[in-house]
Amino acid sequence: EAQVTQNPRYLITVTGKKLTVTCSQNMNHEYMSWYRQDPGLGLRQIYYSMNVEVTDKGDVPEGYKVSRKEKRNFPLILESPSPNQTSLYFCASSFKGSSYEQYFGPGTRLTVT
């Protein structure tokens, strides 16, 4: 089944403790992206990747890192999480090109205390 998977689905952590949220897709998509969704703000792009070893900042990249060492994986790294990073995070993927549909993962609900 074609899908985007994220792990973990739920995470509660404390300020400053490094964490990684994994994202994997099995559709051979070149393009992958991370978003956060907060009440009243809609989805906002954190980082995106056009292909292996090609990444760029989105609208809200501060406090996040990403890497794209393999085509199927695009992990999101929070080196020192803070409470303002409490949010619902979505990974998405698509073929390269602006008219291709993006497929979203199921989401990761992160709480930083």
Is residue 86 exposed (0-12), middle (13-18) or buried (19+ Cβ within 10 Å)? middle
Q: How many Å apart are CA 104 and CA 78, to the nearest integer?
A: 20
Nearer to another protein, 1 or 101 (CB): 101
Instruction: Between 61 and 107, name the residue whose CB sits nearer to another protein.
Output: 107
CB of 18 to another protein, least distance (A): 25
The DSSP symbol for 107 reads -
In the complex, least distance from residue 93 CB atom to another protein, rounded to whole angstroms = 11
Nearer to another protein, 35 or 74 (CB): 35
**For residue 65, which of 25, 5, 18 has the smallest C-alpha distance?**
18
Residues that bind another protein (CB under 8 A): 4, 31, 33, 35, 40-45, 48, 50, 56, 88, 90, 92, 94, 96-107, 109
CB 49 within 8 A of CB 66: yes
Distance of closest approach, residue 73 Cβ to another protein, in angstroms: 17
